[in-house]
Structure 1
Amino acid sequence: MILEDRIEANVSVWRERVARMIKEYGDFVISNVTVQQIYSGIRGVPIQVSDISFVDPDHGIRYRDYSINEILKLLPKAPGSKYPMVGGLYYLLMDNELPTLSKAKEVEEEWKKRATVPDYVFKIIDSFPDDGSAMAMLSAGVLSMSCDSKFSKAYHESVGKNDYWKSTLDDSIDLTARMPQIAAYIYNKKYRNNQQIDPDPKLDYAANFAHMIGKGDDPLYSELMRLFILLHADHENANVSAHTAHLVGSALSDIYLSCSAGLNGLAGPLHGLANQECCNWLLDLYHFYQGIPSKEQIEEYARKTLEDGKVIPGYGHAVLRCTDPRFTAEMEFAKAHFPDDELFRTAMAVFEVVPGILMETGKVKNPWPNVDALNGALQYHFGVTETDYYTVLFGLSRMLGITSHVVFARAVNKPIERPKALTTRMLESMISEQN
């Protein structure tokens, strides 16, 4: 298996770097934590080492130190496609090396060998009512596969700690291989009267997903999914979904338990659910004015949103202080292929107006759009109009990054995560002693 061979070749170097850092610089202070940070969700406090991806406040997400623009240019593409193969992206996330086309294809072929989803997964999903939460279905389907975990089997057979990562990688490839069909099954159950479509082994990862939700006749939608998966694959290891999966994985829970937990975090409106809220806000704006609104109408609508104590979804970011390069990549896709789409034009009009309004408040550090500002508009153009499904698409993509982080944590023998909690009285005492 190509990924195991590549990680095997590098794992001793990773372990040596970590061990040297701990031994020689273990007392080095990274940051001081303030009372405000503790009470505001430890925002901005460094708690992880994330070599797989990093959010540069001024330039956006970097995968293995490559920017989004570099990734789009440098990763190998299938013949006739303008966007990278997902297999090549997974190779990069796992290995820290840009793959050749043959290596990207090798990952895709490995996925095809492992893509068969156990019947019990579909039975679990079918046990939900059709109007049930798509994310709950996805989380439950992923969770159910824990019973077949190769890591759990190896652990109970007393495999050595230094080899935990191998069976975790094995599970990760199984999980990511099955994700497109599981996600498609949920879509067809909820929105297509349970008209299921079998996978097509001739297609690449993204195109096969498009095929399984009934979009196989439109090659441009396959292109969108290649881009979509790439843009959403990872986002450091400290956001809610990634950190939750890491936290659960640090207890040596298997990849299915860890990723199901991560998906539960992703389902929250302050995290992955934001993409559907953004699209719904755009749709409400468009329908309220019965068409593409003027700048004056957008200003009126945006100010009313803020006056009602709500946020304008799709704008602002916890880390970024610039327009999200992922937003820019989606904008360029839409401009190239459907510039006259009315929901896209509405989103572009909002882009011209909203940052200025947010800057006026003096409370927003980043008034610029993030990737959520266009996610839904692009999916909507292709007839994927069920906004409550958009977070499933996010989850399908994010499994690439989350599994890479868990494998890396096992490879360098990261311990169980156990931060310390304080009482309010302890904080008050500490403050009074300093004053």
Structure 2
Amino acid sequence: MSKIEQWTKLAENASNIDNELYTKFDVKRGLRNADQTGVLVGLTNVGTVIGVEKNEKGTTPVEGRLEYRGITIDKLVDGFQSDKRQGYDETVYLLLYGKLPNRQELEDFTAYMAQQRYLPQYFTKDIILSFRGKDVMNMLARSVLALYTTEDNPDDVSTKNVLEQSLSLIAKFPAIVAYSFHGMRYHHMNKALVIRHPKPELSTAENFLYMLKGGNRYTPLEVEILDLMLVLHAEHGGGNNSSFTTHVVSSTLTDTYSAISAALGALKGPLHGGANIKVMAMVDDIKNNVRDWASEREVGAYLHKILDKKAFDGSGKLYGLGHAVYTLSDPRAILLKNKAREVAIEKNKLDEFELYALIEKIGPGIFAESKGDNKVIAPNVDFYSGFVNCSLDMPPAIYTPLFAMSRIAGWSAHRIEEINSAKRIIRPAYKAVGPKTEYIPLHNR
């Protein structure tokens, strides 16, 4: 046995804690209560996520509701889509400033953000392209930390300075993601290196598609649904892992770049930002093993095999069904599904979309049968977002970075709120349960 193998066994033994102790000391594992609602650890005005109603008997599942600054997501989306315009800039304004902009305010904000998109002249070559990376999320986090060095006073945590930093990061994320992806393809896939500068007249969604694909290689519907996805992912309350990370790190009064890079690290984890990739992999497995995608019997039988850990990855999970907060429905999934069907028609992928819809229809019932569990589950936003990304010819390497490109808006709002209102370092308790031991002098060990 090698030294590292010996040390691994020692580390594993030292880190093991008896599961019964968590119950004995009433530890809220994952900061979840016994009824699976989140432990209340803070207050926020930014976003609201509702999936159950509490009463004297416990909790009752309800239709999911997501609010940005008190406005339900469906009304926000209907507002800009009925005007046939892009909604992400309006959403960022709402999250940061707590109100919807009027026409002039929105025009001024959009013009300001357009000017903030450009990276420092040397940055793309020296920071993004010269340091070869194989993971776009890692390259994005590294770039955020490097932007710290471009400021004269990066540690200033006044609202004005943090806001300016936040707006700059929100505007620059699309370029950093696009350039990081092109750099990765160039260095590790032997592809041509193409760097396109952002265009001030294009929306955030269209600019990203332009920088990623080039002009005339995307459709108006692609721009519309990417804008919708950016809006739907922009915020999800203070309790989601990456936003909570933003609160925790910001409570130390560290700089904006450190706080946002920490949030990126949280989002990079497959249990948070990578769920839609798992959904796509699961559906691809179903497509490869089920002859008739439209057959409830055949698809249902294979879903049973997945749940029984006899197919796909052996986890026994139906990825994309169920959510930590939502029960009866995820409002983001409902809004995205409507546009996903339009994209499926445009891209000649309707048969694949109908397979997703069939899994959505029969999956919850099969889950209840297979697991003997009456837990109410419904598709979450990840169930359709992977399909949409694929239909837009987005490479899987940028699925989670796309999520970050949107959620930076919510993170920024939560950071400003933490610094201005909470004013106390977040420091929860951990109970020590290890045995008492005596120190033994080195010569006696």
Instruction: Tell me the TM-score normalized by structure 2.
Output: 0.79
1:195-223 Cα deviation digits (max 9, x unpaired): 22221111111211111111642222111
1:44-59 equivalences under 5 Å are 44-57=38-51, 58=62, 59=64
Partner residue in 2 for 1:252: 253
1:141-164 Cα deviation digits (max 9, x unpaired): 112112235663536xxxxxxxx2
Residue type matched to 1:136 in 2? Answer: N
Give the Cα separation in 2 of the matches to 1:282 and 1:182: 30
**Pick aligned residue for 1:316 from 297, 322, 325:** 322
Question: How far 1:274 sits from its partner (Å)?
Answer: 0.7
Partner residue in 1 for 2:280: 279
Query: Which runs of 5 or more structure 2 residues have no equivalent in the other structure?
Result: 1-21, 33-37, 52-61, 186-190, 310-314, 436-445
Q: In the superposition, relative to structure 1, how do residues 368 and 216 fare at CA in structure 2: closer, same or farther (>3 Å)?
A: farther
Give the Cα separation in 1 of the matches to 2:389 and 2:223: 11
Partner residue in 1 for 2:358: 349
Instruction: Please tell me whether the aligned partners of residues 128 and 180 of structure 2 are also in contact (alpha carbons under 8 angstroms).
Output: yes
Structure 1 vs Structure 2: percent identity of aligned residues? 28
Instruction: Please tell me whether the aligned partners of residues 121 and 145 of structure 1 are also in contact (alpha carbons under 8 angstroms).
Output: no
Partner residue in 1 for 2:393: 383
Partner residue in 2 for 1:333: 339
Aligned residue for 1:56, secondary structure, equals strand
1:1-400 equivalences under 5 Å are 38=27, 40-43=29-32, 44-57=38-51, 58=62, 59-74=64-79, 76=80, 82=84, 84-118=86-120, 119-120=122-123, 122-129=125-132, 132-149=134-151, 152-154=154-156, 164-191=158-185, 193-214=192-213, 216-217=215-216, 218-289=219-290, 292=293, 294-308=295-309, 309-339=315-345, 341=349, 342-360=351-369, 361-363=371-373, 365-384=375-394, 386-400=395-409
Question: How far 1:81 sits from its partner (Å)?
Answer: 6.5
Instruction: Please tell me whether the aligned partners of residues 286 and 293 of structure 1 are also in contact (alpha carbons under 8 angstroms).
Output: no
Give the Cα separation in 1 of the matches to 2:282 and 2:131: 28
Residue type matched to 1:351 in 2? Answer: E
Query: Which runs of 5 or more structure 1 residues have no equivalent in the other structure?
Result: 1-32, 156-163, 427-435
Question: How far 1:329 sits from its partner (Å)?
Answer: 0.7
Q: Which is helix-richer, 1 or 2?
A: 1
Give the Cα separation in 2 of the matches to 1:214 and 1:233: 23
Residue type matched to 1:330 in 2? Answer: L
Instruction: Please tell me whether the aligned partners of residues 50 and 65 of structure 2 are also in contact (alpha carbons under 8 angstroms).
Output: yes
Partner residue in 2 for 1:18: none
Question: How far 1:337 sits from its partner (Å)?
Answer: 4.2
| Matched positions, count | 381
Residue type matched to 2:326 in 1? Answer: L
1:206-252 Cα deviation digits (max 9, x unpaired): 21111111164222211111101000001111111111122111111
Aligned residue for 1:251, secondary structure, equals coil
Instruction: Please tell me whether the aligned partners of residues 88 and 103 of structure 1 are also in contact (alpha carbons under 8 angstroms).
Output: no
Partner residue in 2 for 1:403: 412
Deviates more, 1:292-301 or 1:269-278: 292-301
Q: In the superposition, relative to structure 1, how do residues 89 and 171 fare at CA in structure 2: closer, same or farther (>3 Å)?
A: same
Residue type matched to 2:45 in 1? Answer: D
